[in-house]
Amino acid sequence: MRSLRVILGDQLSHSISSLKGIDIENDTVLMCEVWDEATYVKHHKKKIAFLFSAMRHFAEELKILGYSVSYTKLTDSDNQGSFKEEVRRALCSSNYDQIVITFPGEYRVLKDIQTWSSEFGINVSILEDDRFLCPLDEFNQWAANRKQLVMEYFYRAMRQKYQILLIDNKPIGDKWNFDTDNRKVPSPSIKIPNKTIFEPDLITQEVISLVDARFSKHFGSLDSFHFAVTRKDALGVLNEFITQRLSQFGDYQDAMIEGEPWLFHSHISFYLNCGLLLPKECINAALEAYHLGFAALHSVEGFIRQILGWREYIRGIYWLYMPEYAEANFFKSTRKLPDFYWSANTSMNCLHQCIKETQQNAYAHHIQRLMVLGNFALLAGIDPKDVNEWFLIVYADAYEWVELPNVTGMILFADGGIVGSKPYAAGGSYINKMSNYCKRCQYNVKLKTGKDACPFNYLYWNFLMINESKLKHNHRLSMIYSTLNKMDDNAKSLIKESSVNFLDNLISY
């Protein structure tokens, strides 16, 4: 049986299910750069360059291994511009008995693939994406009949399934989760390792020129492109994290320092999410470091929790609740995204720093995304569709399966509590505690209201007042609402006045 084996841009693994059992003599691997995928949102320039370069390198590796590869570049004159039409063209050029493809990462792509069989008159075999550690059927079984889908319980089940950091099925250190040990603020004198960088080779240079010419109006900068674009180099990034950063990752994973976007984070989400790295090998590398005494338990557990727990859980949530999940808007937020999310032109230094670094790097670490960029969008009542689109555009590791539940569920609480047990809302004191952003800000983090006060301070209480009917019965917010109810009417009036004055002057396009 002759097969056309389609590889998508986030499926760059030699062990991907769509390549298993391939008949090298007769089957063809199809890969294509298509306009539709590069522009359905205006992805960050670096994201497009990274994926196109990684795809071209992967195709070359397959050719070296003896695979027959049909690769369409964006600039090819006969490029049809979409997955479906490129598949149609491939089917017209040769006879195939079936199409083989791995389950995609986005709902809209799956819906498209599911039309191929009837449209092309050929069997389409959609194989499980076994790069993930929790098959979707298994997640659905775990979720069935549960009143709340608490990530912590899912994470424990995954730990037990794979027997990770357990002795006699009990957690090493007598705790499942060391999150409370992950909130230290580094001293100004701490030495932060250099970012792992790679000089663009000829393939990458060609792609950078292409993106610069064809996507000049997209968000972000192409300067200082340094991503790994091969599996070999992605493994190098993982190794340098394990040897240089993991030992301090646990202490400082929530910290934010002006001018230090990379800190002690792993920077492997780019490569995990496109297939150049596999989750189990990343977990095993961290476990080895722990057992050899190179990294403490709280660092290793915190890193593993992000991969084995959060990443797998978020994917399960996405597929369990789509497509309705994309419409979730628990607070009925309608304000448009402020223009400064694109320009970084804001006097709020924390937002300025995080957006500026996002423009440059197509990256920000999880606390910058959650507690600065996302926290502001939550407190300001920004429409979830605008916020989701922005996050999908600006980060090189963003695909809808991972972006949407993180934004809608974790950041905005727009799903009403499926992912989070309470909104991750905070005032300026949290940002001041975990960063040095406030030291050079125009606003005073110690002031609660007025034109000179940190906007996070009054927006936080304003958010709680506006949404009291929806949140006051949340048991995790009972103390907060107790404090709010003790405020006198004058204090509440000043909070509302400061919030209205600030929000009414936001410029949105």
- Tell me the three state secondary structure of residue 265: coil
Which amino acid, 183? R
Q: Are 3 and 99 in contact (CB under 8 A)?
A: yes
**Does the pTM of the predicted model rise above 0.85?**
yes
Chain CA centroid to CA 509, Å: 25
Q: Rounded to whole angstroms, how far apart are CA atoms 499 and 9? A: 43
Name the fold adopted by 340-504.
Answer: DNA Cyclobutane Dipyrimidine Photolyase, subunit A; domain 3 (1.10.579)
CB atoms within 10 A of CB 194: 9
CA separation, residue 406 to residues 11, 396, 400, 419, 447 (Å):
21, 15, 10, 8, 31
Three-state SS sequence of 321-343: HCCHHHHCCCCCCCECCECHHHH
Q: Do 3-127 and 340-504 agree at the fold level?
A: no
* CB neighbour list of residue 212: distance below 8 Å, 6 or more residues apart: 45, 222
Chain CA centroid to CA 57, Å: 23
Which amino acid, 61? E
The residue ranges of every structural domain in the chain are 3-127, 136-193+245-321, 340-504
Q: Rounded to whole angstroms, how far apart are CA atoms 470 and 281? A: 43
* CB neighbour list of residue 431: distance below 8 Å, 6 or more residues apart: 256, 350, 371, 372, 437, 438, 445, 456
Q: Rounded to whole angstroms, how far apart are CA atoms 324 and 195? A: 39
* CB neighbour list of residue 331: distance below 8 Å, 6 or more residues apart: 381, 412, 413, 414, 467, 470
* CB neighbour list of residue 144: distance below 8 Å, 6 or more residues apart: none
Architecture of domain 3-127: 3-Layer(aba) Sandwich (3.40)
Domain 136-193+245-321 has CATH 1.25.40.80: yes
* CB neighbour list of residue 328: distance below 8 Å, 6 or more residues apart: 384, 408, 414, 415, 416
Q: From first to last of the 509 residues of the chain, give the pLDDT tens digit.
A: 899 999 999 999 999 999 999 999 999 999 999 999 999 999 999 999 999 999 999 999 999 999 999 999 999 999 999 999 999 999 999 999 999 999 999 999 999 999 999 999 999 999 999 999 999 999 999 999 899 999 999 999 999 999 999 999 999 999 999 888 777 887 888 899 999 999 999 999 999 999 999 999 999 999 999 999 999 999 999 999 999 999 999 999 999 999 999 999 999 999 999 999 999 999 999 999 999 999 999 999 999 999 999 999 999 999 999 999 999 999 999 999 999 999 999 999 999 999 999 999 999 999 999 999 999 999 999 999 999 999 999 999 999 999 999 999 999 999 999 999 999 999 999 999 999 999 999 999 999 999 999 999 999 999 999 999 999 999 999 999 999 999 999 999 999 999 999 999 998 64
